[in-house]
Chain A
Amino acid sequence: MTDETAGAIPAEEIGDEPIYSLEELSSSCHVEAAWVVELVEQGIIEARGATISEWRFSSLSVVRLAKAKRFDRDLGLNPPGIALVFDLLGEIDRLKARLNAQQRAPSSLAGDSSDPA
């Protein structure tokens, strides 16, 4: 690590502004447009706009599409299967966050343990 901040590439937070067309999205992710349409129909990624030619996607869609592509490539999942995995992963994240918030620190509970003698 020589130059710490000089030349550092600023990472930008990605938003949900609809910017990419269907063609732009599918070509930048190297997938078929028809496959993207299937993902939209399954509710995996969100398209804004009334007709397919007016559809616009956010950069959040790029991330979800890349993940969907990995599920297709690595696990052989079809779009309904991918949609199910996304739903279940979302649920697991939610539960984990709740568990994490409630988790007890192991050391600070000296007097809290029950001891049925």
Chain B
Amino acid sequence: MEFKDYYKILGVERDATQDDIKKAYRQLARKFHPDINKDAGAEAKFKEVGEAYEALGDPEKRAAYDQLGKDFKAGQEFKPPPNWDAGFEYSGGPDNADFSDFFGSIFGAAARGERGGRASRSRTTFNMRGEDHHAAIVVDLRDALDGATRTITLRVPEMDDGGHVLVRDKNLTVQIPKGVVEGQSIRLKGQGSPGMGEAPAGDLYLEVRFKPDPLYRIVGKDLYLDLPVTPWEVALGASVKMPTPSGAIMLKVPAGSANGRELRIRGRGIPAKEPGDLYAVLKVVWPPATDEKARKIYEEMAKELAFDPRAGLGV
């Protein structure tokens, strides 16, 4: 296990005040919050920052961490001395599933205090439906087009007989329905926390995110494909072959099309009750004038065509 330098993670000095630590945490939390920052590394960074604040934001835990940490550097192999934390008392809920082993080794598994405002507090009695869980799932365009089966791993905190909290990896095989779109949530009934008493378990909600596709840009249910065309195809009109998710088609390019023109192929986007459309975006590509024949043709065009694209610039 590697030693984690929580001060460095928050970007503060070791003698920072509690206020400085709080301010640094708030700034980083806003920046990396996974609901706001969709970059791939944001969630991991957010958790790291949260863990650092959990340790340093509480003066008691900070004192314990300082005592332990004075001999260590970040990344160094770390092993807590046996019983080193006798004399420190922590309280809090069993909600630290996302914290590192390093954190667990210092503060114990059940050390995370409940942070935050008025949410997350109501605990009623007897029959209570289990809590809903929320996670994200990353899928390919293909999965949305055809439906797919994916296995996801969730880290779930569990209470053992002695009341200790253990974090367990739980594998779930999920059948992703056809036609999901970016940002949409899907639900797995009964896969949240178990209910209390007679009440049913909560549900698991998965927010769908797409891996970028090499060919198509995905905008809601619609797909965009850049379709390279020649100058004479757009000038004279042509039938050109293009791919679609359900196989190649011949697309009619109308004569006189401009570069960047979007041609819609209805219903060939992501399937749904009202399926999305596929757009071919025309990208005119000019042949290079590298050989004699091509040069001749360009020269002829220059001579024969009265074409001034800069006529409107007033020079």
Chain A residues closer than 8 Å to B175, beta-carbon distance = 5, 8-11
Kindly state whether residue B257 has any CB partner on chain A within 8 Å.
no
- C-alpha gap A29/B152 in the complex (Å): 22
Q: Determine whether the beta carbon of B283 is less than 8 Å from that of A108.
A: yes
Which residues of the partner chain B approach A24 to less than 8 Å between Cβ atoms? 129
Q: Is there a chain B Cβ closer than 8 Å to A53's Cβ?
A: no
Is the beta-carbon distance between A28 and B129 smaller than 8 angstroms? yes
Chain B positions within 8 Å of A76 at CB level: 26, 116-117
Chain B 117-135 residues near chain A, CB threshold 8 A: 117-124, 128-132, 134
Q: Is B177 in the interface zone, CB < 8 Å from A?
A: yes
Number of interface residues of B (CB under 8 A): 63
Cross-chain contact A27 with B129 (CB below 8 angstroms): yes
- Least CB distance from A65 to B in Å reads 9
Tier of interface size on chain A: 35 or more
- With a cutoff of 8 Å between Cβ atoms, the chain B residues found around residue A93 in the complex are 183
**Neighbouring A residues of B244 by C-beta, 8 Å:** none
Question: What is B's interface to A at a CB cutoff of 8 Å?
Answer: 26, 29-30, 33, 35-36, 46, 50, 115-124, 128-132, 134, 149, 151, 172-177, 179-180, 183-189, 191-192, 202-203, 205-207, 217-220, 222, 224, 226, 228, 259, 279, 283-286, 288
What are 8 of the A-B contact pairs (CB < 8 Å)? Answer: A9-B174, A10-B175, A11-B188, A28-B129, A29-B132, A31-B118, A31-B119, A31-B120
Apart from the given pairs A8-B174, A32-B122, A101-B224, 9 other A-B contacts in the complex at a CB distance below 8 Å: A5-B173, A9-B172, A11-B187, A27-B129, A73-B117, A74-B50, A75-B33, A97-B219, A105-B283
